[in-house]
Amino acid sequence: MAIEEAAKPSPIPPYPEMILEAIEGLGDKNGSNKSSISKYIQGKYGELPPAHACLLTAHLARMKESGEVILLKNHYFRADAPGAPPKRG
């Protein structure tokens, strides 16, 4: 029985997927701040790891560096969104 439990995929998708889904789901033209992204993820997936806030911060920073999301005035945008602001720097 332990083998069956170990073989089950996690019901929670990877953080980058959840973050991009949250930004798209919130659909705010001014972007989404970290707390609204967190609330969206908590509302949709319920049980999250105890270190959710730290994981979210780390993944947002990594996604910003890789160019997946754009941070402008504490609001995150999908980099591939049609109305996203231009990349700076």
The per-residue pLDDT for range 50-89, each reduced to its tens digit, is 999 999 999 999 999 999 999 999 999 988 876 666 666 5
pLDDT at 11: 79
Which percentage of the chain shows pLDDT scores above 90? 61
* pTM, rounded to two decimals: 0.78
Mean pLDDT over the full length of the chain? 85
pLDDT at 80: 82
CATH (one of 1.10.10.60, 3.40.190.10, 3.40.50.150, 1.10.10.10) for 15-78: 1.10.10.10
Q: Quick one: which of 30, 29, 26 has its CA closest to 38?
A: 26
The residue-averaged pLDDT of 29-47 equals: 92
Per the structure block, which two tokens stand in for 80?
């591939």
pLDDT band per the 50, 70, 90 thresholds, residue 30: confident
Residue 53 CB coordination number (10 Å):
13
pLDDT at 79: 85
Residue ranges of the alpha helices (H) in the chain? 2-7, 15-26, 34-45, 52-66
